Amino acid sequence: MNRKTKYNLAWLVLLIAGTVWILIRHQAPVSYQKDEGLIFGTIYNITYQHDKSLKEDIEAELHRFDASLSPFNEASVISRINRNEDVRPDTFFTNVFHRSEQISQETEGAFDITVAPLVNAWGFGFKDGVFPDSSMIDSLLRFTGYRKVRLTPDGRIKKDDPRLMLTCSAVAKGYAVDVVANLLKRHGIQNFLVDIGGEVVVHGTNPQSQPWRIGINKPVDDSLSVSGELQTVLHITNAAMATSGNYRNFYYRDGKKYAHTIDPRTGMPVQHEILSATVIARDCMSADAYATAFMVMGLQEAIAFTEAHPELNAYFIYNDAEGRMQIYQTQGMKQFLSPPPEK
């Protein structure tokens, strides 16, 4: 073999080795990023398959969201609307308002974002309240109700009574999860989990190439959120999940328990048998709102609603007449309860 042949052969070997290295690098699985932090007074945990962290982009999106829908942010769009300022709502607000209006109509007022004055009066809102009596509740109900507020064609909020106030606390956190999930999708990410305070969107598979495992907490009184005991574990993908319950946000007064879920139709904290309602839906904003509505409805009304809306999957934990904890689940929920077969 002459010198020129050896030279060409050496270059060919290097070229093949380089090509193989590029192919191996291209085929190597991309690692999963894990970002966590605090937002809206709660914890977020986001896991996604990508070659770099997007935490800065995620938090920037969440802070834009806060500037629209947080009633605790005095400069937010919703705060300015509650003060009756002349403000044109942004897309975040209008999306929540339209979907909330639809779900209020579907649930016949069991879900209602005009409940803010009542929530505040009972001590669970963004303003301090005085423990209400029946006459105060009757007074507040006069300017509560989703039919008393609308979005005008010029893009502004019109109230029938200037005292009407909005709170999106029962839907905004779920929508924030959707917002982050859409951000990840815009980056081409197919496998991810977004969890903000227990409201979740999952897509694709987890790092073990399996559906994501999401726990449902056992609804025991846990105002400090330290229990963490699970009722069951779901295996889901390409879906959103939200849970509403009265086992964390409550207080006792004169020996009686008052929970944070307020029935917009009566103005009173709910006293139903449902301890927690978990909903799986296509988007987390809807799952969040329906879970709250089911807590307001009570067991029989909630079951009837899910039977009329088979696109919703629900899992209710409730107390029976003897005070024993029981489970009701829709037929569609059963598919998420069994672990997937091993690959």
Same domain membership, residue 97 and residue 212: no
Domain that holds residue 328: 202-336
User: What pLDDT does 256 receive?
Assistant: 65
DSSP H helix total and E strand total for the chain: 9, 14
The ranges of the chain with pLDDT < 70 are: 1-28, 125-130, 221-228, 247-259, 338-343
Same domain membership, residue 241 and residue 126: no
> What are the beta bridge partners of residue 252?
257
Q: By CB neighbour count within 10 A (0-12 exposed, 13-18 middle, 19+ buried), where does 72 fall?
A: middle
Same domain membership, residue 332 and residue 208: yes
Same domain membership, residue 303 and residue 216: yes
- Distance in angstroms (rounded) separating the CA atoms of residues 275 and 220: 9
| Domain's final residue, options 127, 159, 191 | 159
User: What pLDDT does 41 receive?
Assistant: 82
Same domain membership, residue 155 and residue 43: yes
| Domain's final residue, options 108, 138, 159 | 159
User: What pLDDT does 289 receive?
Assistant: 98
Same domain membership, residue 153 and residue 61: yes
Q: Which two tokens stand for residue 183?
A: 């951000």
156 backbone dihedrals φ, ψ, rounded to 5°? -120, 160
Domain count within the chain: 2
Contacts 24+ apart (CB under 8 A), 39-44: 39/63, 39/66, 39/176, 39/196, 40/66, 40/70, 40/172, 40/173, 40/176, 40/196, 40/197, 41/72, 42/173, 42/196, 42/197, 43/196, 43/197, 44/180, 44/194, 44/195, 44/196, 44/197
- For residue 62, the one-letter residue type is L
- Distance in angstroms (rounded) separating the CA atoms of residues 321 and 212: 35
Same domain membership, residue 216 and residue 103: no
**Is residue 197 in some structural domain?**
no
Same domain membership, residue 331 and residue 217: yes
- Distance in angstroms (rounded) separating the CA atoms of residues 317 and 275: 6
- For residue 1, the one-letter residue type is M
**Is residue 343 in some structural domain?**
no
**Is residue 260 in some structural domain?**
yes
User: What pLDDT does 89 receive?
Assistant: 96
Strand pairing report for 325-329 and 313-319: antiparallel
Same domain membership, residue 221 and residue 101: no
Q: Which two tokens stand for residue 296?
A: 């307001």
Residue 68 near residue 75 (C-beta atoms within 8 A): no
User: What pLDDT does 143 receive?
Assistant: 94
**Is residue 9 in some structural domain?**
no
Residue 48 near residue 33 (C-beta atoms within 8 A): yes
User: What pLDDT does 223 receive?
Assistant: 52
User: What pLDDT does 132 receive?
Assistant: 81
User: What pLDDT does 1 receive?
Assistant: 55
Same domain membership, residue 126 and residue 212: no
**Is residue 27 in some structural domain?**
no
**Is residue 286 in some structural domain?**
yes
Same domain membership, residue 326 and residue 237: yes
- For residue 240, the one-letter residue type is A
| Domain's final residue, options 98, 129, 159 | 159
Where do the DSSP E strands lie in the chain?
Answer: 32-39, 42-49, 149-151, 157-159, 192-196, 199-203, 212-217, 230-236, 239-245, 250-253, 256-259, 274-281, 313-319, 325-329
Same domain membership, residue 137 and residue 237: no
Q: What is the CATH number of the domain that holds 72?
A: 3.10.520.10
User: What pLDDT does 21 receive?
Assistant: 44
User: What pLDDT does 163 receive?
Assistant: 96
Strand pairing report for 274-281 and 313-319: antiparallel
Residue 282 near residue 239 (C-beta atoms within 8 A): yes
**Is residue 279 in some structural domain?**
yes
**Is residue 270 in some structural domain?**
yes
In DSSP notation, 35-92 reads EEEEETTEEEEEEEE-SS--HHHHHHHHHHHHHHH-TTSTTSHHHHHHTT------HH
